[in-house]
Structure 1
Amino acid sequence: MTTTLTLPSPAKLNLFLHIVGRRPDGYHELETLFQFLDYGDDITLTLTSERPGIRLESPIPGVSDDDNLIVKAARALARKTPDELPGVSISINKRLPMGGGLGGGSSNAATTLLGLNYLWKLGLGLDELADIGLTLGADVPVFVHGHAAFGEGVGEKLTPAFPPEDWFLILKPACNINTGKIFSAQGLTRDTPKMTIAPAFEGDASRYRNDCEDVVNKLYPEVKQSMEWLTQFGPARLTGTGACIFGRFPTESAARIIWESKPSGITGFVAKGVNISPLHQKLTELE
Protein backbone atom coordinates (compact mmCIF):
# COMPACT_ATOMS: atom_id res chain seq x y z
CA MET A 1 0.00 0.00 0.00
CA THR A 2 1.35 3.39 -0.99
CA THR A 3 1.58 5.70 2.01
CA THR A 4 3.63 8.57 0.61
CA LEU A 5 3.55 10.29 -2.74
CA THR A 6 5.50 13.19 -4.24
CA LEU A 7 3.83 14.88 -7.19
CA PRO A 8 4.59 17.87 -9.40
CA SER A 9 2.45 20.99 -9.15
CA PRO A 10 3.17 22.73 -12.45
CA ALA A 11 2.83 26.35 -13.53
CA LYS A 12 0.50 27.48 -16.29
CA LEU A 13 0.61 30.31 -18.77
CA ASN A 14 -2.30 32.23 -20.22
CA LEU A 15 -1.05 32.39 -23.81
CA PHE A 16 -3.72 35.03 -24.31
CA LEU A 17 -6.42 36.47 -22.05
CA HIS A 18 -9.41 38.33 -23.49
CA ILE A 19 -12.13 39.88 -21.34
CA VAL A 20 -15.33 39.56 -23.34
CA GLY A 21 -17.91 40.79 -20.84
CA ARG A 22 -18.99 41.19 -17.26
CA ARG A 23 -21.63 39.09 -15.53
CA PRO A 24 -24.37 40.44 -13.23
CA ASP A 25 -22.51 38.96 -10.23
CA GLY A 26 -19.48 41.12 -11.06
CA TYR A 27 -17.27 38.34 -12.36
CA HIS A 28 -15.65 38.84 -15.75
CA GLU A 29 -16.31 36.61 -18.75
CA LEU A 30 -13.00 35.47 -20.20
CA GLU A 31 -11.55 33.68 -23.16
CA THR A 32 -8.07 32.33 -22.61
CA LEU A 33 -5.65 29.65 -23.76
CA PHE A 34 -4.01 27.66 -20.96
CA GLN A 35 -0.76 25.77 -21.40
CA PHE A 36 1.31 24.06 -18.70
CA LEU A 37 5.03 24.41 -18.06
CA ASP A 38 7.44 21.61 -17.16
CA TYR A 39 8.35 23.63 -14.07
CA GLY A 40 6.63 24.14 -10.75
CA ASP A 41 6.36 23.15 -7.12
CA ASP A 42 6.54 19.63 -5.66
CA ILE A 43 4.01 18.41 -3.09
CA THR A 44 4.63 15.40 -0.84
CA LEU A 45 1.62 13.69 0.74
CA THR A 46 2.23 11.19 3.56
CA LEU A 47 -0.54 9.21 5.25
CA THR A 48 -0.46 9.28 9.06
CA SER A 49 -2.30 7.58 11.90
CA GLU A 50 -3.87 10.86 13.04
CA ARG A 51 -7.67 10.77 12.66
CA PRO A 52 -8.77 13.21 11.55
CA GLY A 53 -5.61 15.03 10.68
CA ILE A 54 -4.63 17.27 7.80
CA ARG A 55 -1.31 18.85 8.66
CA LEU A 56 0.67 21.24 6.48
CA GLU A 57 4.36 20.81 7.25
CA SER A 58 5.53 23.83 5.25
CA PRO A 59 3.22 26.79 5.88
CA ILE A 60 3.48 29.71 3.48
CA PRO A 61 4.53 32.94 5.23
CA GLY A 62 1.61 35.31 5.58
CA VAL A 63 -1.00 32.67 4.70
CA SER A 64 -2.89 30.90 7.49
CA ASP A 65 -3.54 27.17 7.12
CA ASP A 66 -7.28 27.84 6.97
CA ASP A 67 -6.73 30.09 3.93
CA ASN A 68 -4.18 27.85 2.23
CA LEU A 69 -5.64 26.20 -0.88
CA ILE A 70 -3.74 22.98 -0.15
CA VAL A 71 -5.49 22.56 3.20
CA LYS A 72 -8.83 23.72 1.81
CA ALA A 73 -8.56 21.18 -1.01
CA ALA A 74 -7.74 18.32 1.38
CA ARG A 75 -10.64 19.22 3.68
CA ALA A 76 -13.07 19.57 0.77
CA LEU A 77 -12.09 16.15 -0.55
CA ALA A 78 -12.38 14.54 2.90
CA ARG A 79 -15.95 15.83 3.16
CA LYS A 80 -16.87 13.79 0.08
CA THR A 81 -16.83 10.50 1.96
CA PRO A 82 -18.47 9.38 5.22
CA ASP A 83 -15.63 6.93 5.78
CA GLU A 84 -12.95 7.56 8.37
CA LEU A 85 -9.83 8.47 6.43
CA PRO A 86 -6.17 8.28 7.43
CA GLY A 87 -4.62 11.59 8.34
CA VAL A 88 -2.19 13.23 5.96
CA SER A 89 0.97 15.26 6.35
CA ILE A 90 1.60 17.63 3.43
CA SER A 91 4.85 19.36 2.57
CA ILE A 92 5.65 21.58 -0.40
CA ASN A 93 8.86 22.45 -2.18
CA LYS A 94 7.89 25.95 -3.35
CA ARG A 95 9.48 27.26 -6.55
CA LEU A 96 6.67 29.30 -8.11
CA PRO A 97 6.37 32.93 -7.02
CA MET A 98 3.18 33.94 -5.26
CA GLY A 99 1.03 36.44 -7.09
CA GLY A 100 2.81 35.85 -10.38
CA GLY A 101 -0.13 34.79 -12.56
CA LEU A 102 1.34 31.28 -12.94
CA GLY A 103 -1.49 29.57 -11.06
CA GLY A 104 0.67 28.25 -8.23
CA GLY A 105 -2.05 28.13 -5.58
CA SER A 106 -4.60 26.61 -7.95
CA SER A 107 -2.06 24.05 -9.11
CA ASN A 108 -1.23 23.15 -5.50
CA ALA A 109 -4.93 22.58 -4.82
CA ALA A 110 -5.33 20.36 -7.89
CA THR A 111 -2.24 18.30 -7.04
CA THR A 112 -3.59 17.80 -3.52
CA LEU A 113 -6.99 16.70 -4.83
CA LEU A 114 -5.57 14.19 -7.30
CA GLY A 115 -2.88 12.95 -4.93
CA LEU A 116 -5.24 12.34 -2.02
CA ASN A 117 -7.85 10.77 -4.31
CA TYR A 118 -5.12 8.26 -5.17
CA LEU A 119 -3.79 7.72 -1.64
CA TRP A 120 -7.22 7.60 0.01
CA LYS A 121 -8.48 5.30 -2.80
CA LEU A 122 -11.64 7.37 -3.23
CA GLY A 123 -12.03 6.59 -6.92
CA LEU A 124 -13.47 10.00 -7.85
CA GLY A 125 -13.35 10.95 -11.53
CA LEU A 126 -11.75 14.06 -12.97
CA ASP A 127 -15.10 15.80 -13.45
CA GLU A 128 -15.98 15.27 -9.78
CA LEU A 129 -12.57 16.50 -8.66
CA ALA A 130 -12.82 19.51 -10.99
CA ASP A 131 -16.21 20.41 -9.46
CA ILE A 132 -14.59 20.41 -6.03
CA GLY A 133 -11.71 22.44 -7.43
CA LEU A 134 -14.02 25.08 -8.87
CA THR A 135 -15.26 25.86 -5.36
CA LEU A 136 -11.64 26.72 -4.50
CA GLY A 137 -10.74 28.82 -7.56
CA ALA A 138 -11.60 29.28 -11.24
CA ASP A 139 -8.19 28.00 -12.42
CA VAL A 140 -8.24 24.76 -10.40
CA PRO A 141 -10.27 22.72 -12.95
CA VAL A 142 -7.74 23.11 -15.76
CA PHE A 143 -5.03 21.73 -13.47
CA VAL A 144 -7.33 18.87 -12.43
CA HIS A 145 -8.10 17.91 -16.03
CA GLY A 146 -4.42 18.26 -16.95
CA HIS A 147 -4.67 19.20 -20.63
CA ALA A 148 -3.93 22.49 -22.36
CA ALA A 149 -7.28 24.11 -22.99
CA PHE A 150 -9.29 26.96 -24.41
CA GLY A 151 -11.06 28.41 -21.38
CA GLU A 152 -14.34 30.33 -21.32
CA GLY A 153 -16.66 31.66 -18.62
CA VAL A 154 -14.49 32.60 -15.65
CA GLY A 155 -11.97 30.14 -17.10
CA GLU A 156 -13.73 26.96 -15.99
CA LYS A 157 -15.39 25.97 -19.31
CA LEU A 158 -12.61 24.00 -20.95
CA THR A 159 -12.03 22.64 -24.45
CA PRO A 160 -8.80 20.63 -24.97
CA ALA A 161 -6.25 22.46 -27.12
CA PHE A 162 -2.90 21.66 -28.71
CA PRO A 163 -0.78 24.83 -28.93
CA PRO A 164 2.88 24.43 -30.01
CA GLU A 165 5.09 23.13 -27.20
CA ASP A 166 7.68 25.91 -27.41
CA TRP A 167 10.21 27.13 -24.86
CA PHE A 168 9.47 30.13 -22.67
CA LEU A 169 11.47 32.64 -20.69
CA ILE A 170 9.41 33.74 -17.70
CA LEU A 171 10.37 36.87 -15.76
CA LYS A 172 9.03 37.90 -12.35
CA PRO A 173 9.36 41.65 -11.79
CA ALA A 174 9.91 42.76 -8.21
CA CYS A 175 6.27 43.52 -7.39
CA ASN A 176 3.09 41.70 -6.39
CA ILE A 177 -0.11 42.33 -8.33
CA ASN A 178 -3.47 42.82 -6.62
CA THR A 179 -5.83 40.92 -8.93
CA GLY A 180 -8.93 42.64 -7.56
CA LYS A 181 -7.36 46.01 -8.25
CA ILE A 182 -6.79 45.07 -11.89
CA PHE A 183 -10.27 43.70 -12.53
CA SER A 184 -11.91 46.73 -10.90
CA ALA A 185 -9.81 49.30 -12.81
CA GLN A 186 -11.89 51.72 -14.87
CA GLY A 187 -9.52 51.52 -17.83
CA LEU A 188 -9.78 47.75 -18.18
CA THR A 189 -10.98 46.51 -21.58
CA ARG A 190 -14.12 44.43 -21.04
CA ASP A 191 -15.63 44.21 -24.52
CA THR A 192 -13.20 42.21 -26.65
CA PRO A 193 -15.27 40.38 -29.30
CA LYS A 194 -15.82 36.70 -28.61
CA MET A 195 -14.14 34.20 -30.89
CA THR A 196 -15.02 30.68 -31.88
CA ILE A 197 -12.57 28.06 -30.72
CA ALA A 198 -10.98 27.22 -34.08
CA PRO A 199 -9.66 30.73 -34.89
CA ALA A 200 -7.94 30.79 -31.50
CA PHE A 201 -5.36 28.36 -32.88
CA GLU A 202 -5.02 29.59 -36.42
CA GLY A 203 -2.96 32.32 -38.03
CA ASP A 204 -0.80 34.93 -36.35
CA ALA A 205 -0.76 34.52 -32.56
CA SER A 206 0.24 38.17 -32.21
CA ARG A 207 -3.38 39.06 -32.98
CA TYR A 208 -4.18 37.93 -29.48
CA ARG A 209 -3.25 39.73 -26.30
CA ASN A 210 -3.77 39.96 -22.57
CA ASP A 211 -6.46 42.58 -21.93
CA CYS A 212 -5.01 43.22 -18.46
CA GLU A 213 -1.61 44.36 -19.77
CA ASP A 214 -2.32 48.07 -20.28
CA VAL A 215 -3.75 48.49 -16.78
CA VAL A 216 -0.95 46.45 -15.16
CA ASN A 217 1.76 48.39 -17.01
CA LYS A 218 0.20 51.66 -15.91
CA LEU A 219 -0.12 50.67 -12.24
CA TYR A 220 3.11 48.67 -11.90
CA PRO A 221 6.14 50.30 -13.58
CA GLU A 222 8.31 47.29 -12.71
CA VAL A 223 6.18 45.16 -15.05
CA LYS A 224 6.31 47.79 -17.79
CA GLN A 225 10.11 47.99 -17.60
CA SER A 226 10.49 44.22 -17.76
CA MET A 227 8.04 44.02 -20.65
CA GLU A 228 9.95 46.66 -22.60
CA TRP A 229 13.23 44.83 -22.03
CA LEU A 230 11.88 41.41 -23.08
CA THR A 231 10.11 42.87 -26.14
CA GLN A 232 13.54 43.63 -27.64
CA PHE A 233 13.82 39.90 -28.36
CA GLY A 234 10.30 39.22 -29.63
CA PRO A 235 6.70 39.53 -28.45
CA ALA A 236 6.30 39.57 -24.65
CA ARG A 237 3.07 39.01 -22.81
CA LEU A 238 1.62 39.08 -19.32
CA THR A 239 0.21 35.83 -17.90
CA GLY A 240 -3.04 36.16 -15.98
CA THR A 241 -3.02 39.47 -14.14
CA GLY A 242 0.75 39.13 -13.68
CA ALA A 243 3.23 40.04 -12.42
CA CYS A 244 5.03 37.40 -14.52
CA ILE A 245 5.65 38.04 -18.19
CA PHE A 246 6.87 35.61 -20.81
CA GLY A 247 8.54 35.41 -24.18
CA ARG A 248 8.32 32.46 -26.54
CA PHE A 249 11.41 30.86 -28.13
CA PRO A 250 11.86 27.95 -30.54
CA THR A 251 14.63 26.24 -28.53
CA GLU A 252 15.85 26.01 -24.96
CA SER A 253 19.25 27.44 -25.90
CA ALA A 254 17.65 30.52 -27.50
CA ALA A 255 15.67 31.20 -24.32
CA ARG A 256 18.69 30.68 -22.07
CA ILE A 257 20.85 33.09 -24.05
CA ILE A 258 18.32 35.85 -23.34
CA TRP A 259 17.96 34.69 -19.72
CA GLU A 260 21.68 35.16 -19.16
CA SER A 261 21.43 38.80 -20.22
CA LYS A 262 18.43 39.76 -18.07
CA PRO A 263 18.62 42.90 -15.92
CA SER A 264 19.59 42.55 -12.27
CA GLY A 265 16.78 42.46 -9.73
CA ILE A 266 14.50 40.31 -11.86
CA THR A 267 13.95 36.64 -11.07
CA GLY A 268 12.53 33.99 -13.35
CA PHE A 269 13.23 30.75 -15.14
CA VAL A 270 13.26 28.95 -18.50
CA ALA A 271 10.72 26.18 -19.09
CA LYS A 272 9.07 24.18 -21.85
CA GLY A 273 5.40 24.53 -22.66
CA VAL A 274 3.62 21.15 -22.44
CA ASN A 275 0.07 20.21 -23.32
CA ILE A 276 -0.18 17.31 -20.88
CA SER A 277 0.38 18.35 -17.29
CA PRO A 278 3.48 16.89 -15.59
CA LEU A 279 1.12 15.95 -12.74
CA HIS A 280 -0.90 13.70 -15.04
CA GLN A 281 2.25 12.27 -16.59
CA LYS A 282 3.39 11.26 -13.11
CA LEU A 283 0.03 9.79 -12.12
CA THR A 284 -0.04 7.76 -15.34
CA GLU A 285 3.30 6.22 -14.36
CA LEU A 286 1.74 5.06 -11.09
CA GLU A 287 -1.10 3.17 -12.76
Structure 2
Amino acid sequence: MRIELCWPLTLFAPAKLNLGLEVIGRRPDGYHEVVTILQTVSLFDRIELTPSAGLEYQPPPGIADDLVARALDELSRRGIEIAARIRLDKQIPIAAGLGGGSSDAGTLLGALAIAGVPRALIDEIASGLGSDVPFFVRGGTALATGRGTELEPLPTSSGWFVVVVPRLHLPDKTRRLYQALEPGDFSDGSATRAQAERLRQGLPLDPELVRNPFIRALEAYPEVRQAAEALREAGAHWIWPTGAGPALFAVTGDFSSARDVARLVPPVTRAFVCTTVSGRINDERVRRFVHIRG
Protein backbone atom coordinates (compact mmCIF):
# COMPACT_ATOMS: atom_id res chain seq x y z
CA MET A 1 0.00 0.00 0.00
CA ARG A 2 1.42 3.39 -1.05
CA ILE A 3 0.31 6.71 0.47
CA GLU A 4 0.64 9.70 -1.88
CA LEU A 5 -0.15 13.39 -1.41
CA CYS A 6 -2.04 15.46 -3.95
CA TRP A 7 -0.86 18.71 -2.32
CA PRO A 8 1.12 19.74 0.75
CA LEU A 9 -0.74 18.98 3.97
CA THR A 10 -0.40 20.27 7.52
CA LEU A 11 -1.74 18.16 10.38
CA PHE A 12 -2.45 19.76 13.73
CA ALA A 13 -1.41 17.57 16.66
CA PRO A 14 -3.11 18.84 19.85
CA ALA A 15 -1.86 18.68 23.42
CA LYS A 16 -4.02 17.01 26.04
CA LEU A 17 -5.08 17.71 29.58
CA ASN A 18 -6.12 15.11 32.12
CA LEU A 19 -9.41 16.48 33.45
CA GLY A 20 -9.10 14.17 36.41
CA LEU A 21 -6.62 11.35 36.92
CA GLU A 22 -6.96 8.70 39.61
CA VAL A 23 -4.57 5.82 40.15
CA ILE A 24 -6.22 2.69 41.51
CA GLY A 25 -3.14 0.52 42.05
CA ARG A 26 -0.47 -1.53 40.35
CA ARG A 27 -1.48 -4.12 37.74
CA PRO A 28 0.08 -7.60 37.39
CA ASP A 29 1.72 -6.47 34.12
CA GLY A 30 3.68 -3.75 35.96
CA TYR A 31 1.55 -0.84 34.74
CA HIS A 32 -0.82 1.07 37.01
CA GLU A 33 -4.61 0.90 36.82
CA VAL A 34 -5.93 4.40 36.11
CA VAL A 35 -9.21 6.22 35.60
CA THR A 36 -8.75 9.48 33.72
CA ILE A 37 -10.51 11.87 31.37
CA LEU A 38 -8.34 12.85 28.41
CA GLN A 39 -9.12 16.09 26.60
CA THR A 40 -7.42 17.56 23.54
CA VAL A 41 -6.81 21.33 23.72
CA SER A 42 -5.76 24.13 21.40
CA LEU A 43 -2.00 23.93 21.82
CA PHE A 44 -0.60 22.25 18.71
CA ASP A 45 2.45 20.69 17.20
CA ARG A 46 2.34 20.79 13.40
CA ILE A 47 3.17 17.89 11.11
CA GLU A 48 3.96 19.22 7.65
CA LEU A 49 3.83 16.76 4.75
CA THR A 50 4.85 17.57 1.19
CA PRO A 51 4.80 15.29 -1.87
CA SER A 52 7.98 13.29 -2.44
CA ALA A 53 9.13 10.20 -4.36
CA GLY A 54 9.57 8.36 -1.06
CA LEU A 55 9.59 8.81 2.69
CA GLU A 56 11.86 11.53 4.08
CA TYR A 57 11.80 12.23 7.82
CA GLN A 58 14.38 13.61 10.20
CA PRO A 59 13.40 13.69 13.90
CA PRO A 60 13.68 17.14 15.52
CA PRO A 61 16.69 17.69 17.77
CA GLY A 62 16.39 17.07 21.49
CA ILE A 63 13.87 14.20 21.35
CA ALA A 64 15.32 11.02 22.83
CA ASP A 65 12.46 8.69 21.84
CA ASP A 66 10.71 10.02 18.76
CA LEU A 67 7.33 8.28 18.46
CA VAL A 68 6.77 9.52 14.91
CA ALA A 69 9.95 7.74 13.78
CA ARG A 70 8.83 4.59 15.59
CA ALA A 71 5.36 4.79 14.01
CA LEU A 72 6.89 5.21 10.54
CA ASP A 73 9.16 2.21 11.14
CA GLU A 74 6.18 0.08 12.16
CA LEU A 75 4.18 1.17 9.11
CA SER A 76 7.08 0.35 6.79
CA ARG A 77 7.50 -3.05 8.42
CA ARG A 78 3.86 -3.79 7.60
CA GLY A 79 4.17 -2.77 3.96
CA ILE A 80 2.79 0.78 4.18
CA GLU A 81 4.87 3.05 1.90
CA ILE A 82 4.52 6.80 2.51
CA ALA A 83 5.62 9.05 -0.36
CA ALA A 84 6.08 12.27 1.57
CA ARG A 85 8.64 14.56 3.11
CA ILE A 86 7.60 14.95 6.76
CA ARG A 87 8.66 17.78 9.04
CA LEU A 88 7.64 18.04 12.69
CA ASP A 89 7.27 21.57 14.12
CA LYS A 90 7.29 21.23 17.93
CA GLN A 91 5.31 23.77 19.93
CA ILE A 92 4.06 21.57 22.79
CA PRO A 93 6.63 21.52 25.62
CA ILE A 94 8.44 18.19 25.84
CA ALA A 95 8.08 15.84 28.85
CA ALA A 96 5.56 18.14 30.54
CA GLY A 97 2.54 15.82 30.80
CA LEU A 98 0.86 17.39 27.76
CA GLY A 99 1.25 14.34 25.51
CA GLY A 100 3.06 16.06 22.64
CA GLY A 101 5.05 13.04 21.45
CA SER A 102 2.05 10.74 21.72
CA SER A 103 -0.08 13.28 19.87
CA ASP A 104 2.41 13.57 17.01
CA ALA A 105 2.37 9.82 16.44
CA GLY A 106 -1.35 9.39 17.08
CA THR A 107 -2.31 12.30 14.84
CA LEU A 108 -0.24 10.92 11.97
CA LEU A 109 -1.70 7.44 12.44
CA GLY A 110 -5.22 8.87 12.65
CA ALA A 111 -4.70 10.72 9.36
CA LEU A 112 -3.59 7.50 7.68
CA ALA A 113 -6.67 5.72 9.02
CA ILE A 114 -8.90 8.40 7.48
CA ALA A 115 -6.96 8.03 4.22
CA GLY A 116 -7.79 4.32 4.13
CA VAL A 117 -5.13 2.36 6.04
CA PRO A 118 -7.03 -0.40 7.92
CA ARG A 119 -8.18 0.82 11.32
CA ALA A 120 -7.24 -2.44 13.02
CA LEU A 121 -3.63 -2.02 11.85
CA ILE A 122 -3.55 1.61 13.01
CA ASP A 123 -4.92 0.69 16.43
CA GLU A 124 -2.41 -2.14 16.81
CA ILE A 125 0.53 0.14 16.03
CA ALA A 126 -0.80 2.91 18.29
CA SER A 127 -1.22 0.56 21.25
CA GLY A 128 2.35 -0.64 20.88
CA LEU A 129 3.78 2.88 20.95
CA GLY A 130 2.44 4.08 24.31
CA SER A 131 -0.58 4.40 26.56
CA ASP A 132 -1.74 7.80 25.25
CA VAL A 133 -1.17 7.19 21.53
CA PRO A 134 -4.49 5.34 20.88
CA PHE A 135 -6.40 8.31 22.31
CA PHE A 136 -4.71 10.74 19.94
CA VAL A 137 -5.66 8.67 16.89
CA ARG A 138 -9.13 10.20 17.36
CA GLY A 139 -8.66 12.95 19.97
CA GLY A 140 -11.53 14.85 21.52
CA THR A 141 -12.69 13.71 24.96
CA ALA A 142 -12.50 10.20 26.37
CA LEU A 143 -12.71 8.28 29.62
CA ALA A 144 -9.57 6.14 29.73
CA THR A 145 -9.31 3.15 32.04
CA GLY A 146 -7.06 0.10 32.47
CA ARG A 147 -3.54 1.30 31.74
CA GLY A 148 -5.06 4.23 29.86
CA THR A 149 -5.78 2.49 26.55
CA GLU A 150 -9.38 1.38 27.17
CA LEU A 151 -11.24 4.37 25.76
CA GLU A 152 -14.85 5.49 25.94
CA PRO A 153 -15.52 8.59 23.81
CA LEU A 154 -17.33 11.37 25.67
CA PRO A 155 -19.04 14.56 24.48
CA THR A 156 -16.65 17.51 24.34
CA SER A 157 -17.84 20.41 26.46
CA SER A 158 -16.52 23.93 26.05
CA GLY A 159 -13.89 25.01 28.54
CA TRP A 160 -10.97 27.41 28.92
CA PHE A 161 -7.70 26.74 30.71
CA VAL A 162 -4.40 28.36 31.53
CA VAL A 163 -1.52 25.90 31.23
CA VAL A 164 1.81 26.74 32.85
CA VAL A 165 5.00 24.74 32.34
CA PRO A 166 7.63 25.04 35.10
CA ARG A 167 11.23 25.10 33.92
CA LEU A 168 11.92 21.71 35.47
CA HIS A 169 13.57 18.74 33.79
CA LEU A 170 12.97 15.38 35.45
CA PRO A 171 14.86 12.50 33.81
CA ASP A 172 12.74 9.34 33.62
CA LYS A 173 9.91 11.48 34.97
CA THR A 174 6.91 9.18 34.68
CA ARG A 175 8.58 6.18 36.29
CA ARG A 176 9.99 8.28 39.12
CA LEU A 177 6.67 9.91 39.92
CA TYR A 178 4.73 6.66 39.84
CA GLN A 179 7.31 5.19 42.20
CA ALA A 180 6.81 8.18 44.50
CA LEU A 181 3.11 7.43 44.97
CA GLU A 182 2.16 6.39 48.50
CA PRO A 183 -0.87 4.37 49.67
CA GLY A 184 -2.77 7.56 50.49
CA ASP A 185 -2.39 8.75 46.89
CA PHE A 186 -4.47 5.89 45.48
CA SER A 187 -8.24 6.18 45.08
CA ASP A 188 -11.17 4.27 43.61
CA GLY A 189 -11.79 6.40 40.51
CA SER A 190 -15.26 7.47 41.62
CA ALA A 191 -14.66 11.24 41.29
CA THR A 192 -13.41 10.93 37.71
CA ARG A 193 -16.25 8.56 36.79
CA ALA A 194 -18.71 11.09 38.22
CA GLN A 195 -17.11 13.78 36.06
CA ALA A 196 -17.48 11.53 33.01
CA GLU A 197 -21.17 11.08 33.79
CA ARG A 198 -21.60 14.86 33.89
CA LEU A 199 -20.06 15.12 30.43
CA ARG A 200 -22.32 12.34 29.11
CA GLN A 201 -25.29 14.40 30.27
CA GLY A 202 -24.00 17.53 28.54
CA LEU A 203 -23.10 19.29 31.78
CA PRO A 204 -19.98 21.47 32.12
CA LEU A 205 -16.79 20.36 33.82
CA ASP A 206 -17.03 20.44 37.63
CA PRO A 207 -13.60 21.57 38.95
CA GLU A 208 -14.40 20.10 42.38
CA LEU A 209 -14.35 16.60 40.87
CA VAL A 210 -10.86 16.94 39.38
CA ARG A 211 -8.24 14.74 41.07
CA ASN A 212 -4.56 14.02 40.43
CA PRO A 213 -2.42 12.09 42.92
CA PHE A 214 0.87 13.40 41.49
CA ILE A 215 0.32 16.86 42.97
CA ARG A 216 1.80 15.78 46.31
CA ALA A 217 5.06 14.46 44.82
CA LEU A 218 5.34 17.36 42.36
CA GLU A 219 5.03 19.96 45.10
CA ALA A 220 8.36 18.72 46.46
CA TYR A 221 9.97 20.63 43.58
CA PRO A 222 10.25 24.41 44.11
CA GLU A 223 9.69 25.10 40.41
CA VAL A 224 6.25 23.47 40.62
CA ARG A 225 5.36 25.23 43.87
CA GLN A 226 6.36 28.56 42.36
CA ALA A 227 4.28 27.95 39.22
CA ALA A 228 1.23 27.02 41.32
CA GLU A 229 1.69 30.10 43.49
CA ALA A 230 1.98 32.28 40.38
CA LEU A 231 -1.36 30.95 39.15
CA ARG A 232 -3.01 31.56 42.50
CA GLU A 233 -1.67 35.11 42.68
CA ALA A 234 -3.01 35.67 39.16
CA GLY A 235 -6.49 34.74 40.37
CA ALA A 236 -6.75 31.02 39.54
CA HIS A 237 -8.60 28.81 42.03
CA TRP A 238 -8.61 25.28 40.55
CA ILE A 239 -5.04 24.14 39.79
CA TRP A 240 -3.97 20.60 38.95
CA PRO A 241 -1.17 18.78 37.11
CA THR A 242 -1.87 17.23 33.75
CA GLY A 243 -0.70 13.62 33.62
CA ALA A 244 2.36 13.24 35.82
CA GLY A 245 3.25 16.90 35.20
CA PRO A 246 5.16 18.99 35.74
CA ALA A 247 2.78 21.18 33.68
CA LEU A 248 -0.12 22.58 35.68
CA PHE A 249 -3.46 23.84 34.43
CA ALA A 250 -6.03 26.17 35.93
CA VAL A 251 -9.71 25.89 35.09
CA THR A 252 -11.26 29.25 34.13
CA GLY A 253 -14.74 30.31 33.14
CA ASP A 254 -14.13 31.85 29.72
CA PHE A 255 -11.50 33.19 27.34
CA SER A 256 -11.38 36.59 28.99
CA SER A 257 -10.70 35.10 32.42
CA ALA A 258 -8.05 32.74 31.03
CA ARG A 259 -6.32 35.60 29.20
CA ASP A 260 -6.29 37.77 32.31
CA VAL A 261 -4.76 34.98 34.42
CA ALA A 262 -2.13 34.20 31.78
CA ARG A 263 -1.11 37.86 31.50
CA LEU A 264 -0.36 37.98 35.24
CA VAL A 265 1.83 34.86 35.27
CA PRO A 266 5.51 35.93 35.46
CA PRO A 267 7.34 35.51 32.13
CA VAL A 268 9.86 33.12 33.71
CA THR A 269 7.10 30.48 33.51
CA ARG A 270 5.66 29.54 30.11
CA ALA A 271 1.90 30.09 30.05
CA PHE A 272 -0.63 29.08 27.38
CA VAL A 273 -4.33 29.87 27.03
CA CYS A 274 -6.20 26.83 25.70
CA THR A 275 -9.72 25.73 24.95
CA THR A 276 -11.15 22.27 24.38
CA VAL A 277 -10.82 20.78 20.90
CA SER A 278 -13.10 18.10 19.49
CA GLY A 279 -11.78 15.00 17.78
CA ARG A 280 -10.91 14.40 14.12
CA ILE A 281 -9.88 18.00 13.44
CA ASN A 282 -7.71 16.97 10.47
CA ASP A 283 -10.15 14.61 8.75
CA GLU A 284 -11.57 16.82 6.00
CA ARG A 285 -8.17 18.03 4.75
CA VAL A 286 -6.81 14.47 4.81
CA ARG A 287 -9.68 13.24 2.65
CA ARG A 288 -8.99 15.97 0.08
CA PHE A 289 -5.18 15.80 0.04
CA VAL A 290 -4.21 12.13 0.50
CA HIS A 291 -4.48 9.30 -2.01
CA ILE A 292 -3.80 5.57 -1.57
CA ARG A 293 -2.55 3.17 -4.23
CA GLY A 294 -2.56 -0.58 -3.86
Task: Please give the range of the TM-score, normalised by the shorter of the 2 chains.
Answer: 0.7 to 0.9
- Following the alignment from structure 1 to structure 2, what is the Cα–Cα distance between the partners of residues 189 and 88? 50
Conserved in 1, the CA contact under 8 Å of 2:35 and 2:145?
Answer: yes
Which residue pairs with 2:159 in the alignment?
Answer: 166
Matched residue type, 2:141: A
Which residue pairs with 2:118 in the alignment?
Answer: 124
- Following the alignment from structure 1 to structure 2, what is the Cα–Cα distance between the partners of residues 86 and 163? 32
2:81 is the alignment partner of 1:78: no
Report the CA distance shift for 1:207/1:146 in structure 2 as closer, same or farther (over 3 A).
Answer: closer
- Following the alignment from structure 1 to structure 2, what is the Cα–Cα distance between the partners of residues 284 and 146? 17
Gaps of 5+ in 2: 199-204
State percent identity of aligned pairs.
31
Which residue pairs with 1:107 in the alignment?
Answer: 103
2:238 is the alignment partner of 1:240: no
Matched residue type, 1:164: S
Which residue pairs with 1:267 in the alignment?
Answer: 270
2:6 is the alignment partner of 1:2: yes
Matched residue type, 2:73: R
Q: Is 276-285 or 30-39 further displaced after alignment?
A: 276-285
Conserved in 1, the CA contact under 8 Å of 2:46 and 2:90?
Answer: yes
Conserved in 2, the CA contact under 8 Å of 1:110 and 1:133?
Answer: yes
- Following the alignment from structure 2 to structure 1, what is the Cα–Cα distance between the partners of residues 257 and 154? 25
Q: What is the TM-score with the length of structure 2 in the denominator?
A: 0.84
2:219 is the alignment partner of 1:217: yes
CA offsets per residue over residues 186-242 of structure 1, 9 Å max, x none?
536553113398623339441331111111112x22112211332342111100011
| 1:27 alignment partner, one of 31, 34, 54 | 31
Matched residue type, 1:141: P
CA offsets per residue over residues 10-54 of structure 1, 9 Å max, x none?
10100111001111222111100011112211001234224xx44
- Following the alignment from structure 1 to structure 2, what is the Cα–Cα distance between the partners of residues 86 and 164? 35
Alignment length (residue pairs)? 275
For the residue of structure 2 that corresponds to 1:278, the secondary structure is: coil
- Following the alignment from structure 1 to structure 2, what is the Cα–Cα distance between the partners of residues 217 and 197? 22
Report the CA distance shift for 1:197/1:254 in structure 2 as closer, same or farther (over 3 A).
Answer: closer
Matched residue type, 1:92: L
Give the alignment of 1:199-214 within 5 angstroms.
Answer: 199-201=194-196, 202=198, 204-214=206-216
| 1:184 alignment partner, one of 161, 179, 201 | 179
Matched residue type, 1:98: I
- Following the alignment from structure 2 to structure 1, what is the Cα–Cα distance between the partners of residues 207 and 63? 38
CA root-mean-square deviation: 2.5
For the residue of structure 2 that corresponds to 1:274, the secondary structure is: coil
Gaps of 5+ in 1: none
- Following the alignment from structure 2 to structure 1, what is the Cα–Cα distance between the partners of residues 191 and 124? 25
Conserved in 1, the CA contact under 8 Å of 2:163 and 2:271?
Answer: yes
Which residue pairs with 2:128 in the alignment?
Answer: 135
CA offsets per residue over residues 159-201 of structure 1, 9 Å max, x none?
1112531111110111123111101115365531133986233
For the residue of structure 2 that corresponds to 1:110, the secondary structure is: helix
- Following the alignment from structure 2 to structure 1, what is the Cα–Cα distance between the partners of residues 43 and 250? 16
- Following superposition, the deviation at residue 90 of structure 1 comes to 1.4
